[in-house]
Structure 1
């Protein structure tokens, strides 16, 4: 654990709170079943509400860091957790007509929490330890989800779906109280804005144009997130069409969570000195390679191999990309850079279902080859940018936000 000595104690405490909150974060897993079950909505109505909620989640990710740069990341995290938790607690009691307002509000707050949490870690952890810090928070978040999903099923069947939202809301409120206790008030304070750094005056765009690898990475992440999230949308339908039921899909999701818990932190430790863009690019290629496994045939073995490759790719690119964007950020815009990455990294929540579903309906045999090609192209583009960065060793550190990035690309 020598490589984690630079991860501050406050990050470990924050990660512990994230774990507890993730255990009871049932909402997004069971919301469709809740709407079509106890609420009695049709699939189309439920899909519309869930879709609007997804837009709220993406919007929250895109804006949370902007708020943090202005008002302080700790303050934004506390406010969003309090508001989101309250919305979830009352969600099961509001009339069905109001769900279209309350659920997107709760999802928006969730997105703000995610972006603010990433920004808070980024401003708290010194350069050189951010990959490890994000690995800690992501690993514990996934561990909580792995425990929470089957627990949520027991609550829904043994008690009621209403208790899922109450537990989720109370967990989010707990996270607000925990954060207020373990994160010092001085942490995550708003950075001084650049003289022309407001989003309306082109400051952020100028900072991005000065960092071409970040722009390339953001575009690649949009592509890969649409590909990656097919395993939450079209993939279970594909399995069912080939005789593998929901239990098989549940076991595959358990493989995902188990591999992350086993390898996320060791991988971050072992690769912490490696070129970030090379690691990210390799991860994207592995995600595409996972879907390519499905071209070998449909069965338990190929599905398991697909999930293992997908998860290995996820481990490589998600933590490293989050840390890379933080290292590349100018000091006055860390939150905004984190929000940009957070937003594009969940773009598949809105895009993956409609795009993948339409293609699977029209030409089911094309979906997995296209996913494999898109993952390979996205990864190859990032790898090429990484190789280009290696040749530009002389770039000044202020253009990269990280002395190591100028060397390793």
Structure 2
């Protein structure tokens, strides 16, 4: 398949593992229902527990790369998967008080796995040839997630919600065993790196790459906007007379378009400079919310979701690959960790901030989201003019940024 030409076997195997793991990673979808249902907690208690779990997930994404850079990305992934899987398996048997501690630990470990997986993809592919590899792993994870929630609903209906956590935990442990088998333990960039005591620190490396800092800030802003679709958007649709089923169909449009277009788009745009693509994607996210300013009728809501989804396709894969291409070998994990944390920060920020704005001034939320995303979309391509950012449009067979790959050895991680 031409779209996958140049994607290393290790990345393809990692993508398969990501798909299988995503199929059983359905507990966070039903966590709140589980807490207020079978566990009998109040909405406030369930909100606190879910919130601290989300903080743990974001923290794991932001800091997990440090473990990979210090101890090896393979070891970080395996340890995180084992901790997360074991915690989920025993979670149904724990008293409520223990959930406040165990759930954030499980989520933190899951965040470490996410950061380590991204770093493993980065060190497995030569610089400049990473977009299709990251697109493949995103495609696999999204495909698994399309199957997971309906499967989880079936498990909960036929057995119990407790079995959701057991299945998720066992599946995560099996993923750890699978990863241990496919990733070489020694003599590769996946294993523990050789540390250079004279290597510059993370702050110094980031200061030398100001465009990366601009990109990370823009991703935090746009993720706050993007994830309103999971918090305030269903409330907005309900206030405009739409059913929950209609909201579900909108999410299905999002997932279906991503599965159909993500890989072809990564292949077709592989030679385009990344920051311009990222900027265009962020502008499309802003356009999506701007389309809802006149109202939230069926046509406008569908157009909004299509714009949001196309924006996601344009910005997420090039942004991930750009950060990997800019990272020095000794800090690949920490660079990927910073991006992973930024790209999921809206999971914690979007619900409270969006809800506060919507409660105070419902008509203000949509234009505010549009302006924030547009500002982020303008800032990213403008960062090309910053000193030392080093962006190059990848040209096949020309230098280390050739998308088709080159004899360049993957950086040590």
For residue 89 of structure 2, what is the aligned residue in structure 1?
Answer: 89
Q: How do residues 171-320 of structure 1 correspond to structure 2 at under 5 angstroms?
A: 171-186=171-186, 187=188, 188-197=190-199, 203-320=201-318
Return the alpha-carbon distance in structure 2 between the equivalents of residues 310 and 81 of structure 1.
31
For residue 34 of structure 2, what is the aligned residue in structure 1?
Answer: 34
Q: Deviation at 1:387?
A: 5.9
Return the alpha-carbon distance in structure 2 between the equivalents of residues 312 and 393 of structure 1.
23
Q: What TM-score do the two structures reach when normalised by structure 1?
A: 0.93
CA deviations on 1:337-383 (whole Å, 9 max, x unpaired) are 01111111111111111100100101111001000011111001112
Return the alpha-carbon distance in structure 1 between the equivalents of residues 41 and 290 of structure 2.
37
Which SS does the other structure have where 1:324 is aligned? helix
8 Å contact kept, 2:129–2:402: no
For residue 326 of structure 1, what is the aligned residue in structure 2?
Answer: 324
Q: Which has the higher helix share?
A: 1
Q: How do residues 51-200 of structure 1 correspond to structure 2 at under 5 angstroms?
A: 51-186=51-186, 187=188, 188-197=190-199
Which SS does the other structure have where 2:241 is aligned? coil
Return the alpha-carbon distance in structure 2 between the equivalents of residues 105 and 220 of structure 1.
28
8 Å contact kept, 1:52–1:104: yes
**Which ranges in structure 1 are unaligned for 5 or more consecutive residues?**
395-400
Q: Deviation at 1:194?
A: 4.1
Report which structure shows greater RCO (CA 8 Å, sep ≥6).
2
Change in CA separation of 1:391 and 1:184 when aligned onto 2, cut-off 3 Å:
closer
**Which ranges in structure 2 are unaligned for 5 or more consecutive residues?**
393-398, 404-413
Return the alpha-carbon distance in structure 1 between the equivalents of residues 348 and 4 of structure 2.
35
8 Å contact kept, 1:134–1:319: yes
Q: Deviation at 1:155?
A: 1.7
Which SS does the other structure have where 2:344 is aligned? coil
Provide the aligned length of Structure 1 versus Structure 2: 395
For residue 397 of structure 1, what is the aligned residue in structure 2?
Answer: none
CA deviations on 1:315-356 (whole Å, 9 max, x unpaired) are 111111111000000111000101111111111111111100
Which SS does the other structure have where 1:279 is aligned? helix
Q: How do residues 300-379 of structure 1 correspond to structure 2 at under 5 angstroms?
A: 300-379=298-377
Which shifted more, 188-197 or 273-282?
188-197
Return the alpha-carbon distance in structure 1 between the equivalents of residues 155 and 176 of structure 2.
23
CA deviations on 1:223-273 (whole Å, 9 max, x unpaired) are 011111111111111112222122111111111111111011001000111
Q: Deviation at 1:404?
A: 6.6
Return the alpha-carbon distance in structure 2 between the equivalents of residues 224 and 136 of structure 1.
23
Q: What TM-score do the two structures reach when normalised by structure 2?
A: 0.92
